[in-house]
Amino acid sequence: MKFDMDMKLAELKINGFVLFEDLLPVEKIDRMCEAFMVLLDQVRERETEIRPLEEGDLRSGKGRMQWPNRYGMYWPLDPPLADPQLYENPVILDFLERYWGTDDFYVSCLHSNNPYPGATWQPWHRDTVLLTPGIGNPRHPHFGVKIPLVDTTEENGSFEVYPGTQYAAEADYEGKYNDILTQPGFATNTRRLNLKRGTIWVQDPRAFHRGTPNTSDHARPELCICYSLWWFKIAGPLEIHRESFERLSERGKRLFKHAILLD
């Protein structure tokens, strides 16, 4: 599969997100979705109240309700999700290497965002603190690589992003973006990411975004693999099973070098 990488880099730098369509076979995604939904449904049955942190065992679903009918879950690097086409995808690794100018980066989370029917609007937010107040930093050290497990639509709660806002760096606005953007008459220019499964997309976590209502009859599961430059640390744990680590390629082992190994 050929992509114009210079153009893709420009899209990420200018828009704060970039899509790589038809990167994964749909049949593979469907198999992953089936296995993933078993865990996610267990989390949904168990977690009936909003919680601040994911709870539970990776093998039976480590997750939480984060917003009404919207669940976050860490996923295990076990078959069929332990697939190098996800975490060691040559197109995505090549892309990140070009963006950062180094291959010294690692996987810092295996998480997922999953609105079920009944999920409502999230507030506009960014997923990171402002590292450089007053300066739109041209190189962010951390990205979310996202893999929708179903086609995402206006009905099932496709992701909404406000392109270009990754460079907004006004310290006084930080934490107040939802209030600012939802004022009557405030001019916005936003985009819904209605995606075919098989797409992998890269999200600059600084760009303003929000989850949208799921009015369909099915969940909208989406995997997130975080990649961080060697010096950047995030708060959440990255846990994988020791046998999953041992099955990894040399590159895979370098990518997961900071993972906590569970016996």
Ligand X SMILES: O=C(O)CCC(=O)C(=O)O
Positions that interact with ligand X (CB under 6 A): 113, 115, 122, 127, 157, 159, 209, 211, 222
Q: CB nearer to ligand X: give 88 or 204.
A: 204
Minimal distance, residue 37 CB to ligand X, in Å: 16
Angle (CA) 93 99 104, round 5°: 60
Return d(Cα 128, Cα 262) in angstroms, integer.
27
Q: CB nearer to ligand X: give 89 or 203.
A: 203
Minimal distance, residue 218 CB to ligand X, in Å: 14
What are the percentages of helix, strand and coil residues in the chain, rounded to 5?
25, 25, 50
Q: CB nearer to ligand X: give 61 or 72.
A: 72
Minimal distance, residue 157 CB to ligand X, in Å: 6
Minimal distance, residue 222 CB to ligand X, in Å: 6
Minimal distance, residue 40 CB to ligand X, in Å: 13
DSSP 119-186: --PPPPB-SS--SSTTS--S--SEEEEEEESS---TTTT-EEE-TTGGG---GGGTT-HHHHHTSTT-
Minimal distance, residue 247 CB to ligand X, in Å: 29
Q: CB nearer to ligand X: give 76 or 211.
A: 211
Q: In angstroms, what CA-CA distances link 193 with 20, 79, 160, 184, 200?
A: 12, 28, 6, 24, 12
Q: CB nearer to ligand X: give 68 or 90.
A: 68
In sequence order, the β-bridge partners of residue 239 are: 260
Q: CB nearer to ligand X: give 161 or 255.
A: 161
Tokens of 223: 């995997």
